Structure 1
Amino acid sequence: MAHAISTTDYYPKSHVFKHIADWVSTRMQKIGANDPRLRRVRMLQAMNDAQLSALAIERKDIVHHVFRDTYYR
């Protein structure tokens, strides 16, 4: 004689993992949006070439200029 057990998962785990991944993603986006260095990069990128040359920065060197003390030693 065979026995069969059928169970129903009332709390599917895939929804829990998706919810956690969405939460982490949202937090990481907020951290990135509020980073002062990234705000500085966006501000410099919004300037025209004449304004950048007055600051002695070339457009291609904006990221290097903002992160020079962190990544470029």
Structure 2
Amino acid sequence: MATIASVHTKTTGFSAASLLAPFRAVGRFMIMLAEASPQMRALNRLSQISDEELSAKGLTREGEVRRILGGAAAL
């Protein structure tokens, strides 16, 4: 003989995911802002250039990063 038991639990609609949702949204927004900055776009362009191309122009990757980031490169 088989017995089937059904358990019904009442939920309040509150979960950890709903508590964390605003923090995730703020985090995604901050990442979006950082990726949209002119410095980030310049660094992305720099990463697409080979070391050989840079040296042909008389530049170094480290020098270009310092130029792009300015004083922030010392951190």
TM-score tier, shorter chain, comes to: 0.5 to 0.7
- Following superposition, the deviation at residue 16 of structure 1 comes to 3.2
After superposing the two structures, state which structure 1 stretch, 8-17 or 18-27, moved more: 8-17
TM-score with structure 1 setting the length: 0.63
- Following superposition, the deviation at residue 32 of structure 1 comes to 1.6
List aligned pairs for 1:8-27, cutoff 5 A. 10-12=12-14, 14-27=16-29
TM-score with structure 2 setting the length: 0.62
Structure 2 equivalent of residue 44 of structure 1: 46
Within 1, Cα distance between the matches of 2:45 and 2:19?
36
Contact 1:41 1:63 in 2 (8 A): yes
The code of the aligned residue for 2:34 comes to G
Unaligned runs of 5+ in 1: 1-7
Moved over 4 A (4+): 69-72
Identity of aligned residues (%): 16
When the two chains are superposed, the root-mean-square deviation of aligned CA atoms in Å is: 2.3
- Following superposition, the deviation at residue 19 of structure 1 comes to 0.4
Unaligned runs of 5+ in 2: 1-9
How many equivalent residue pairs?
64
